[in-house]
Chain A
Amino acid sequence: MRALIPGLAFLVVTATATVAHAYPQYQLSREQTCGSCHLSPVGGGLLNDNGELTDGDDATWGGDPTFLHGAVELPEWLDLGADLRGAAGVSDRGGGIGPAAFPMQGEFHGAVTRGAISVVADLGFTIPQEDGSPLTVLMSREHYVRWSQHDDNLGWYARVGRFMPAYGLRFAEHNLYTRRFGATPLFGETYGASVGWVSPGAEAHVTGFVHDPLRASLTDADGAAAYVEKRIGRASIGAEARYANAPDNVRTEGGVTGKLWLDGPEVLLSAEVQAVHQTFDVGPARNQIVGNVVASWFVHHGYLLDVGLGHYDQDVAVPDIDRDAVDVNLHWFPKAHIELILMGRVQTIAFGGGGDGSGYGLLQFHYRM
């Protein structure tokens, strides 16, 4: 029998890899929209001028936050960047703690903008398919054409191509339950067309999507997703809905989000709950509940502390099958372009009564070119 002992690096990549995404912690705390700091109106990916300035301002020791630390000046119509990540520490996958060290992300981003139209693409490395071409080590998660009504990313936008539909809170950490078991898992991008509207007081996004016809991907479904969010002072409420029709199952899901900025302690509370009804060609249907609550505290200049609670019930009809997680992530931005994250997680099944617990303690290094 063939040995089934994948390398440690590969294994933990799965558990903790992170892709370039948004930091919604900044939204209400700075009274910004996602598009205030990112080129994309829905956040994630390349930063715009304001996003780069924020990166520099928030760093403990400052620095030049522009592309390649200012060594190369790009023409106004061109944006380039890259994200490199790796982590090391210990992990417990159930029954024992062991060392862990692994690469997480190597991804390049580019955008060409002419007037209201942008062409956006990324190219990164992933684990090559076991029995496929060596070229499967390369992966473009996103490539699309976008139209924006205004330069400041407010107003209407539309995009066509391969991307992650806007849905929910869109945290960077893909292992949050609402991402891992919800509608936006790692490498969950699909081809699709999206239209949306963003203002300082509200935003709405609607996406129709189809599975990737060119390459096997994680989301092998066709469907639609929608997300709306309304701000009320320094708080917001949101609603989401998604329908995904895959070859042997259909997921119908919906949820709510909420955010509340507390000025005194400078803490942002974020919450998201999703309900999923899943039917299968064969076998009984099931209903799932998945949720996260995250408190983000700007501890000190250059430091951000996230404390999160997650709950996932993979089938509400089956007892002792639900999982809970406590996450603690301390972000430090020592200099522009650089982020260090001390990450910890403790995870239980049915509060310890349904199986082995697990967890990790890792130090992640992130360099943004």
Chain B
Amino acid sequence: MRPTRFALIATLAATLGGGCADSTDPRPATFDVIVTNILRPGCATATCHSAMTKAEGLDFSTVAAAAESIDHEGLVPVGGGDPADSQLVYLLTTSGEKRMPVDSPLPDVDIELISNWIAAGAVK
């Protein structure tokens, strides 16, 4: 895990909060956008968290399925809060075998948008 990057992302998320995205990122920090723009293309690949495989019980292929998976696995604290407490952000920023996604890390901008969503209450 790279503490510097994680701290930066968490700080940015906590500072911005309120559902606001980074000023250079025009995408709103909403759950629909996070699933359709980030989690589905990045994580719902054939042999991972797609509907056909549901690796680790996670299905990110639709907004509804992603909401159920995140709740069921406790990936994000109910009601949001500090992104640093989120298992989802941890998995996206740690290093080694736990790091997700397996074939290509997410861009910092994407992780920041997810952090913003969590900081703003993680409304689904």
A residues touching B (Cβ–Cβ < 8 Å)? 1-2, 4-6, 8, 10-17, 93-96, 98, 126-132, 136, 175, 180-181, 185-188, 215-218, 220, 247-249, 280, 282-284, 286, 314-315, 317-321, 323, 347, 349-350, 354-358
Contact = CB atoms under 8 A, between A and B. Distances in A.
B24 A1 contact: no
Contacts of B47: 10, 13-14, 17, 126-127, 186-187
Given A1-B73, A5-B97, A129-B54, A317 B26 contact: yes
Contacts of A93: 99-105
- Chain A interface, DSSP helix/strand/loop, else mixed: loop
30 contacts: A1-B73, A4-B91, A6-B56, A8-B97, A14-B45, A14-B48, A15-B102, A93-B104, A95-B2, A98-B97, A126-B53, A130-B57, A131-B57, A175-B103, A187-B47, A216-B61, A218-B45, A248-B63, A282-B36, A283-B28, A283-B30, A283-B32, A284-B27, A286-B37, A314-B37, A319-B25, A320-B24, A355-B105, A355-B106, A355-B109
Contact of B52 (A4, A129, A357): A129
Report, as a range, how many residues of chain B touch the other chain: 35 or more
A95 B2 CA distance: 8
B18 interface: no
Contacts of B37: 283, 286, 314-315
B35 to A, nearest CB: 9
B55 interface: yes
B95 interface: yes
A315 B42 CA distance: 13
Nearest to A187: B46
B95 A94 contact: yes
Contacts of A14: 45-48, 102-103
Given A8-B97, A284-B26, A349 B107 contact: yes
Contact of B53 (A2, A16, A127, A355): A127
A319 B26 CA distance: 10
Contact of B54 (A131, A186, A215): A131
A218 B87 CA distance: 26
B102 A283 contact: no
Given A4-B73, A98-B96, A280-B32, A320 B52 contact: no
- Point out which of A8, A98, A349, A356 has the most chain B C-beta atoms below 10 A from its C-beta: A356
A220 B65 CA distance: 14
- Point out which of A12, A132, A249, A283 has the most chain B C-beta atoms below 10 A from its C-beta: A283
B62 interface: yes
Given A283-B37, A318-B26, A186 B105 contact: no
